[in-house]
Structure formats: structure tokens, C-alpha cells
Amino acid sequence: NSDIKRVLSIQSHVVHGYVGNKVATYPLQLLGFDVDPLNSVQFSNHTGYKTFKGPVSNEKELATIFEGLEENELLPLYSHLLTGYIGNPLFLRQVGHILKKLRQANPGLVYVCDPVMGDNGQLYVPKELLPVYRDEIIPLADIITPNQFEVELLTEKEVRSEAAVWEAMEWFHQRGIKTVVISSSDLGQPGVLRAFLSQQNGPRLAIDIPKQGGKDLVFTGTGDLFASLFLAHSHGSKDIANVFEKTIASLQAVIKRTVASLPSGGNGPVKAAERELKLVQSKTEIEQPQVLLKAQRL
Ligand code: ATP
Ligand code: PLP
Ligand code: MG
Ligand code: MG
């Protein structure tokens, strides 16, 4: 049934701020999806603050919650599974079991996997997650949204050129993944983030994104927001370039509003709390993205 629009979203919850399920739920709802957030952690705030506190859920708790959904015969209601930051290999393996049951209940279920492991050469999860993603989880995904560093980890090859990007994309397609989006890379001109998309038997695309804010300004939750917007726009769309453009358009509008709220436009030092995405304030740009950055066909 392709009319159903309900996402099981397994990600982190933060009490304050916008990452994980806190950043993914609202845009999906605005774009017409029912969202069932299953929280992998409940933290006070994201891990980029000077401290964070709160419990981490284990694979048994995940299995128990899922059992409740299963026993109430709710599994056929899901059109999508979305996963983001997961900090424990056994929890990730349990996600694989859950996915198989969701697919049995709805063979058309789409799995969007953001294989969050690190950024800029730094791992921020235990290294034991890598083989579970590579060998068990990624082959089951329909859409993946790794960053450049995560592509290097998964393919075990450096990605330092555009030729290497397309080789890496093929590595994923050979494993059955239809759509691969590299949400950001440093392969653009100075001051420009270059994002790439490759679809099996489809186009190769790139979008150049001028970096907003000062050189040292980083946003948290933008990768998670990217994955949720991409999921929403890809549902039922045949125009993958437009899906990519609309995703980037809403993201850029959210970031623009966030930068505008910062003291000195984000050029001086900025506290983690000040950098929280202006998500709720960007309702209009999420509902009606204005495409300013167009995809190049390569
Ligand atoms: P993940 O969280 O999955 O590791 P990632 O590292 O690619 O993903 P980001 O680097 O935050 O996540 O990039 C995701 C998207 O956020 C990019 O496609 C871009 O649209 C937007 N983005 C992030 N930082 C900026 C910035 N400084 N200026 C403009 N856009 C940005
Ligand atoms: N979840 C938690 C708890 C985090 O602390 C973070 C980043 O610090 C994220 C998710 C991911 O954020 P991003 O989308 O920027 O990768
Ligand atoms: Mg990044
Ligand atoms: Mg992320």
C-alpha cells in the first residue's frame, strides 16, 4: 500500500535542542507523515555541549518496545524505517532484526539509513559498529546518507576526488542500495560544501552549497535533518534531482535563520546552545522549499 506515510524513526532524543528524533519529527509531520519516534537515548542535550547526561537504551529495551508494536499488529502500518545515530553494535544488530520483520509485514517498506559514525576523520562511535553497518545493515537499505568520511570507512577506500566518489557510489549500488547521497564533502571550491547523489540506473548529481556562517561555525543536527527531509521528499517522487534540491533548499533556509540569530552573524565564538537550529521558526521553508541551488547532472 503506497498511500501509507508512517515512519518508525529510531534515533536519539534530546530534552533541549534539535538533533536526532527532535530534529527529524517536525519536518516529517509538516510534510504529511505520521512519525513514531523510538528513542535510542534520552540525553539532556547533544554531545557537543560541555556536558550531557541521560540514559542510553540497550538492545533488550529496543526488542521489548518493538515486541509491543508487533503484538498489537502495528507493523503493516509502517511505510518507512529511518535510523540515525546508534552508539552500540548490539543495538544496531537488533535494528536489523526489526527491519526484517517490518519488511515481512510490508514488503514495500523503505529503509533510509544514515550510517552515523564520524566526521572529518574522527570516529564518534565505537569502531565495532563499522562491520555491523557494512556487512549487516547497509545491504538492507534503500537509501543511505553517509558523509564523505563514512563512505571512506564503509568502502575502505579514500575518497579524495570526484572519480573516487563515483567509484564508491558503485560499491554501494553493487550491494543493492538504490540511492546513495553524500550529504556533504570537502571536494568543492574553498568555502563550498559539495554534496553528491547517485541512483542505480539513474542520474549522477552534485550540488554546491556555499558554506554559511564563519569558518569555524558548525551545526549539529543538520545531517539528521537532511535524512528526514530526503525521506519525505523522495516518497512517491520520480524526480530525484528535485528531491535533492528541495532537501538542500529547506536545510539552507533553516541554517540561514540560525546564522541570522547569532551574535556577529556567527563570526565570533558561539556557544552550543546558540547554534541550535531554528527549526520550528522555519515552518514555511520546510513546507514550501524555494530551490535556489540547482543540481548539476554529471
Ligand atoms: P551526518 O550527520 O550524517 O554525518 P554530515 O556530516 O554530512 O552528515 P553535515 O556536514 O551537517 O552532515 O551536512 C548536512 C547538510 O547540512 C549539508 O548537505 C548542507 O546542506 C548542510 N550544512 C551543514 N553545514 C553547513 C554550513 N556551514 N553551511 C551551509 N550548509 C551546511
Ligand atoms: N544525536 C546526538 C545525541 C548527538 O549528540 C548528535 C551530534 O552531536 C547527533 C545525533 C547528530 O547530529 P548531526 O545531524 O549533526 O550529525
Ligand atoms: Mg559533516
Ligand atoms: Mg548525523
pLDDT of residue 71: 98
CB of 75 closer than 8 Å to CB of 102: yes
pLDDT of residue 1: 57
Q: Which ligand is nearest to the CA of 209?
A: 1
Distance 205 CA to ligand 3 centre (A): 19
Q: Whose CA is nearest to atom 10 of ligand 1?
A: 184
CB of 8 closer than 8 Å to CB of 81: yes
Distance CA 84, CA 169 (A): 20
Q: Within 13 Å, how many C-alpha atoms sit on residue 140's CB side?
A: 25
Q: Which ligand is nearest to the CA of 145?
A: 1
Helix H or strand E encompassing 193: strand 192-199
Q: Each residue of 124-182: pLDDT tens digit?
A: 899 999 999 999 999 999 999 999 999 999 999 999 999 999 999 999 999 999 999 99
pLDDT of residue 188: 93
DSSP-H helix ranges across 35-147: 59-71, 89-105, 129-132
User: Among 34, 114, 135, 224, which one carries the catalytic annotation?
Assistant: 224
Q: What is the pTM of this model?
A: 0.97
Ligand 1 environment, Cβ below 6 A: 114, 116, 119, 145, 147, 183-184, 193, 195, 209, 211-213, 219, 222-223, 226, 248, 251, 255
Distance 89 CA to ligand 2 centre (A): 17
Residue 211 — pLDDT band, cuts 50, 70, 90?
A: very high
Query: At residue 11, what are phi and psi to the nearest 5 degrees?
Result: -155, 180
Give the three-class secondary structure for 122.
Answer: strand
Helix H or strand E encompassing 151: helix 148-155
Distance CA 201, CA 184 (A): 22
For residues 230, 231, 234 and 240, what is the CA-based torsion angle, rounded to 10 degrees? 40
CB of 82 closer than 8 Å to CB of 9: yes
Give the three-class secondary structure for 136.
Answer: helix
Distance CA 104, CA 112 (A): 17
Distance CA 69, CA 219 (A): 34
ipTM rounded to 2 decimals: 0.94
3 is catalytic: no
Q: What percent of the chain has pLDDT over 70?
A: 99
Mean per-residue pLDDT of the chain: 96
